[in-house]
Structure 1
Amino acid sequence: MKLSKENISQIDNALFKKFGVFYYDVRLEIVDHLASELEQMEGDFEEISPVFLNNKSDFIKETNLQLNNAGSRWSKIVLFKNIFSIKYLLTFIVVVFFSYNLISLKGKEWFLEYFDFMPIILPAPISIFLLYEIFSSKRKSYILPFAGITNTILMTYLFIFIHIIRKADVFYFVGIFSFFMTLALAYYYMYFFSVRQHFKENNLLKL
């Protein structure tokens, strides 16, 4: 049986509407597998596909869960691997140096007035972009956990650590501020380079 683009689209729609496979990258993996099996069969697509998909129900659910877990696991690995990387440490040192010297020149009150919200403001564009992808038809399985974990860490700055640095000595203040500022800067790199590169080059089932 030779499948047309329309047939592939029908399988994709069935996975989304009937089986609840919401993530685009996961559907691509499952569609590819199902299409390969269907092409080995004889008969009419319209007659065979409903029965075939029902028979594959357990496989679809199991693979969907497996790929979702793999995407979630990888997003966490990317985040924490980058936080403990040499690049992150070097960026952290640069931010510490910049912050400490700026405070020495302008004073802590001036620095807080103009910079204390920067770890929240700086990643706002990428957060908006990720929010769009989460609700788009082509949302991917690693987007939600990656955005969720990173933004949760950044939110702890807004609700907890910003109040600490406003009262802390400069030594502690600079260290805390610089960590979150570095994370805000690294957010862009981690998404556009690390995450995208991994899912471009690797099959989730191999994780």
Structure 2
Amino acid sequence: MSSLKQHPKISVTPTSIADVLIIEPKVFGDERGWFTESFNAQDFSGAVGLDVNFVQDNHSFSRQSTLRGMHYQLEKAQGKLVRVVSGSVYDVAVDLRKNSPTYGKWMGLELSAENHKQLWIPAGLAHGFLVLTPMAEFLYKTTDYYHPQSEICLAWDDPTVAIEWPKSPSFTPNLNPKDLAGLSWEQVPKF
């Protein structure tokens, strides 16, 4: 990836995982409310040094303690630009790229309607999130189409990866059957 460039409309911050970036669009506000350009292909490409073609937008609604993940597609691997438009989530990416300097590592970040932060997660990473508020609406753009035949789920609580989810001692995530059957780090195919 090219080096990050300063851009007047968005701020780009590297994370602890190679190529995963925090994107913060400029928010213009006054006593009436606020406005932000949530995505502009030219600005995104100019700031991150990537020419990305998004082909699908997804929108999910989830209730508190819902944990979705850790998902990825082995074929038709997807890069994702994710954000929250209502509520708050703890968003996580796990590096599955064998040639990456951060292979096997994870990073997490709170995304909320209030902070307007977005996360760029390139292809080759597993992704998931935990809903922190009574409800959350989550939007994400993908670089390839959903391909259920090649979807893989890494166990959200795999001890090798050891994601530190924000939780109370009595925390029990709300999981669907696919996420309950997530595979261990040793079992999941890597890139």
On whether the aligned pair clears a TM of 0.5, the verdict is no
Greater Rg over alpha carbons, structure:
1
With normalisation by structure 2, the TM-score equals 0.22
Q: Which has the higher helix share?
A: 1
TM-score (norm 1): 0.21
